[in-house]
Each structure stands twice: as structure tokens, then as C-alpha cells.
């Protein structure tokens, strides 16, 4: 789970990491209540990088500029993500900019602390200038690790590592870590929490900021549903078969735009809900790839028929069905779908219709 900048900075404050004075707002009317001296830095709150280059960070010297900037920021869409909140902060007098982060390096099975004497944008382009310090997870961060850093950032590094461990982070990053009036301050934050650990952290935000409205609806119904950029809707049962179906479509230059995993269910009501979600996504074609092991194919077919009888769907449905009661399911669906027995041919046909 990714946190927005202001959420990450809230965690920083809890761990004693200095951050600029700031407040997050959603409405223009809230600007008049901000008790921060000008000049301001106004930052669009999105989960994607590169917002500075996209115009998502602006400066205001007075209220007139702040209103104009807010109106521009709140209507922006950066890399497909709509801006819903704006962070207003004091503008710092920057003397130096550093880069500091901790993340899990799976290849070495260790934590990796990364530090650079040059922070800010385009840190990826300066890989050769980044100091890499590996930390044994059984021992943790030690004084000899910290001695490799400038004195003014060592205490920040200790606190960032503590946050990284205690909050089950995959990444904890400060870029830039600025020196302002001799004090190290986290001018930005990037925090990614391991999704598998969310249940341990009641204090973390529960907003599904990364989810689309349909993905959020699917989550409420406990259906695994992901929206991508393609125009083919995939419904399969089981994560392996779902991913294999997307791979097969890719072989024929087809782009899966939505994929939905039925899991092991053959509950007709769940199947109907799945098709309702898929229909709302408006794909050009739906590819149903069903393997009935525990799942009964005819029960799934019943749910599909009930949905199609009650709702008009404006795209063809290709069905490749194998497993328990497959013949019965094919007979039930023959008037509603395009039946294809071969996995390869079904993927090829879906890619053609979705092109």
C-alpha cells in the first residue's frame, strides 16, 4: 500500500523526523484558514512520481497566487491519477539536498540503505553516485553504518530505519532530505507498506487511494478485480489461470483491460456480480476461461445465464469451459456465448474481437 506524501509525513512526525509546517486541503475555501506565513509550496497529492515535471508543484507568494494555483492543481490528472488533495507547506530555505531511503533487497536478502549527496528529481539517473549500505536484518542498523553518512543526517537515518521496520515497509524514502538553517528536514516522503501486514497497523489510513471506483466496489464484494489499460475483459477462476489467460492474449497482441478472478466459487449469485462488474467496465469483448476442478461448470453457467437474461450486454462473450459438467455447461450457454474449446483459439478470437 502506497501512502500519499502528507500521510508519510504524518508518520515521520510520529517518529521524530522533522517535516515542514503544512496542512492538506480539498477545497479552495480552506485556503483562508491556513495559518502558515507566505511564501507557500503547493503540492498535488498523487501516488505517482514525476509530479514536479508535470506541473504538480507550485509556489505562491500571496493569497491571489495561492487561489490560482489551487484551482489548477485540483483539476489536474497526473499520469492518469486525479488530484483530490493539495498539501500546503512553508517554503524552506534550502542549503543542501540529500537522498535517503531504506528498502528490502530481495536478491541479497538484506535491507538496503541508499544515500546520495544529491537529492531531488532524477535520482534514478544518478545511480553511480548513490551509496549502497547493506543491513543484516538479524542485526539491524549499526553505528558503523551511520558513520558513512554526514553527521546532520545520522539521527534521521536511525529514525527512518525504525519506522521502516516497525511499519513493515517495503520502501521508506526521503527525497529530498534538505538542510535548512542547519536542520535536516524531510521535504518529501515516499512510503510503501507491505499489503500483507496491513492488519497489524490499525493506525494506517484505510483509504484505497490506488483503487478505481470499480475495483473498490469489487473489493467490497470480495471479488478479485483489476482494471488495466486494454479492452478485453477476462473472467477466469484461480490466479494462475487468470494470469495465463492474460499471457495468452498477449501472444496474439490482445490487451487484457480488466481481469476478474472467480476463485473457487460456483455460486450463481457471485458469478452474476462478477459479470455486473465486468459489464460496467465496458470491454470490447469478454473472455470467460473456466476450469472446473472443484468448481462446477454448469453452476457457473447458471449464474451467467441469469445475468444475461436480466441485463443487456453490448459486447460478445467467448467461453472456453473445461472440467466438471463441462458438456452440460456448454449446452446451457450455447445461445448466449461464442463457445471455443481450445484455450489458444479462444485467446486468439478474443484478441481479434478486441483489436
Q: Is the distance from CB of 71 to CB of 83 less than 8 angstroms?
A: no
**Residue bearing cell 475555501:** 29
Among candidates 92, 99, 132, 100, which has minimal Cα distance to 118?
Answer: 99
Q: How far is CA 84 from the centre of its chain?
A: 16
CA 159/CA 150 separation, integer angstroms: 15
Q: What is the DSSP string of 166-198?
A: HTTEEEEEEEEEEEETTEEEE---EEEE-GGGG
φ, ψ (nearest 5 deg) of residue 174: -120, 115
CA 150/CA 180 separation, integer angstroms: 15
Kindly state the cell numbers that stand for 218.
469489487
Q: What angle do CA 91, 94, 96 make, to 5 degrees?
A: 150
CA 52/CA 58 separation, integer angstroms: 8
Residue 202's SS3 state is coil
Kindly state the cell numbers that stand for 135.
543491513
Burial per residue of 28-63, b for 16 or more beta-carbon CB atoms within 10 angstroms, e otherwise: eeebeeeeeeeebbbbbbbbeeebeeeebbbebeee
Q: Is the distance from CB of 175 to CB of 123 less than 8 angstroms?
A: yes
Among candidates 248, 276, 262, 264, which has minimal Cα distance to 349?
Answer: 248
User: Catalytic site residues?
Assistant: 99, 173
Amino acid at each position: 500500500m502506497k501512502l500519499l506524501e502528507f500521510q508519510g509525513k504524518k508518520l515521520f512526525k510520529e517518529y521524530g523526523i522533522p517535516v515542514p509546517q503544512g496542512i492538506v486541503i480539498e477545497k479552495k475555501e480552506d485556503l483562508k484558514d491556513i495559518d502558515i506565513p507566505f511564501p507557500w509550496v503547493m503540492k498535488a497529492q498523487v501516488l505517482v512520481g514525476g509530479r514536479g515535471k508535470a506541473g504538480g508543484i507550485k509556489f505562491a507568494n500571496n493569497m491571489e497566487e495561492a487561489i490560482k494555483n489551487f484551482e489548477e492543481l485540483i483539476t489536474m490528472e497526473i499520469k492518469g491519477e486525479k488530484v483530490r488533495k493539495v498539501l500546503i507547506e512553508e517554503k524552506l530555505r534550502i542549503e543542501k539536498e540529500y537522498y535517503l531511503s531504506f528498502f528490502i533487497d530481495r536478491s541479497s536478502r538484506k535491507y538496503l540503505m541508499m544515500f546520495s549527496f544529491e537529492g531531488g528529481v532524477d535520482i534514478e539517473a544518478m545511480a553511480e553516485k548513490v551509496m549502497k549500505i547493506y543491513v543484516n536484518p538479524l542485526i539491524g542498523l549499526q553505528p558503523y553504518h551511520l558513520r558513512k553518512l554526514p553527521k546532520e543526517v545520522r539521527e534521521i537515518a536511525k529514525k527512518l530505519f525504525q519506522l521502516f521496520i516497525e511499519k513493515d515497509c517495503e520502501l521508506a524514502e526521503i527525497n529530498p532530505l534538505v538542510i535548512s538553517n542547519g536542520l535536516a528536514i524531510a521535504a518529501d516522503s515516499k512510503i510503501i507498506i507491505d499489503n500483507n501486514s496491513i492488519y497489524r497497523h490499525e493506525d494506517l489510513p484505510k483509504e484505497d487511494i490506488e483503487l478505481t471506483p470499480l475495483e473498490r466496489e469489487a473489493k467490497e464484494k470480495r471479488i478479485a478485480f483489476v482494471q488495466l489499460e486494454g479492452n478485453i475483459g477476462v473472467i477466469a477462476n484461480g490466479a494462475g489461470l487468470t494470469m495465463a489467460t492474460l499471457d495468452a492474449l498477449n501472444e496474439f497482441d490482445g490487451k487484457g483491460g480488466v481481469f476478474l478472478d472467480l476463485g473457487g466459487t460456483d455460486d450463481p449469485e457471485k458469478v452474476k456480480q462478477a459479470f455486473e462488474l465486468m459489464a460496467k467496465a465496458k470491454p470490447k469483448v469478454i473472455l470467460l476461461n473456466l476450469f472446473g476442478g472443484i468448481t462446477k461448470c454448469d453452476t457457473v453457467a447458471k449464474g451467467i445465464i441469469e445475468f444475461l437474461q436480466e441485463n443487456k450486454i453490448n459486447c460478445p462473450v467467448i467461453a472456453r469451459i473445461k472440467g466438471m459438467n463441462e458438456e452440460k455447461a456448454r449446452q446451457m450457454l450455447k445461445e448466449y456465448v461464442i463457445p471455443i474449446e481450445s484455450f489458444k483459439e479462444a485467446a486468439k478470437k478474443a484478441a481479434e474481437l478486441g483489436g
